[in-house]
Amino acid sequence: MKLKNNTIALDATDYKILEALREDARQTYTDIGEQLGIAHSTVYDRIKRMEQYGIIKQYTTIVDAEKAGAKKITAIMTIYTEPKESEKVAEKLCKAPEILEVYTSLSEELQIIAKITAENQESLHTFIANSIAPLPGVLRIRTSILTKKFKENAFSIVSDPKKITFIKETRNIERRETV
């Protein structure tokens, strides 16, 4: 972990700590230290620093809604928008509790991709018809209701030290080529 111009550069140990937390955020500093062969105080320092710099944003709980008895449906919406209005539309979507995730994407047309949850198909449709379609700048909407989940994982962190070494080596090679 290096600090430069008030920004933080993570090293292989930081990535390993993040990966360990991603697997189980309730592990103790000692558990993580033992896994990685480093002192628990090192783990503590690095985690605190990553929290301080917003790299670790929060510790949360992933709930299996189905097992919890919540019979909700989830859908992915592609919202085509006028370019000038896309940010405003995305910001408004972010405020709705029904919307779980919001992204923008640039393909042939400017799109907003959002993940939405609802009690059932009817309430999904009502929400889209009453709250999203009327937003200024919305051109059209495509919605796909998700039927079966095969995999769900948070953002994967490079945990393999070989891969990190490879990245560093690649950077070195690039540097040599540009000189």
Task: List 103's β-bridge partners, or say none.
Answer: 113
CB-nearer residue toward other proteins: 32 or 116: 116
CB-nearer residue toward other proteins: 41 or 144: 144
Instruction: Tell me if 85 sits within 8 A of 137, measured CB to CB.
Output: yes
Residues 6+ apart with CB under 8 A from 19: 157, 159
Does position 143 bind other proteins by CB under 8 A? yes
Choose the binding region for other proteins from 32-40, 91-99, 138-146, 161-169 (rule: CB under 8 A).
Answer: 138-146
Does position 146 bind other proteins by CB under 8 A? no
Choose the binding region for other proteins from 9-17, 25-33, 40-48, 73-81 (rule: CB under 8 A).
Answer: 73-81
Residues 83-122 contacting other proteins, CB under 8 A? 121
CB-nearer residue toward other proteins: 60 or 130: 130
CB-nearer residue toward other proteins: 139 or 173: 139
CB of 83 to other proteins, least distance (A): 15
Instruction: Tell me if 17 sits within 8 A of 23, measured CB to CB.
Output: no
Cα separation of 56 and 78, whole Å? Answer: 29
Q: What angle do CA 18, 94, 112 make, to 5 degrees?
A: 90
Does position 172 bind other proteins by CB under 8 A? no
Instruction: Tell me if 76 sits within 8 A of 113, measured CB to CB.
Output: yes
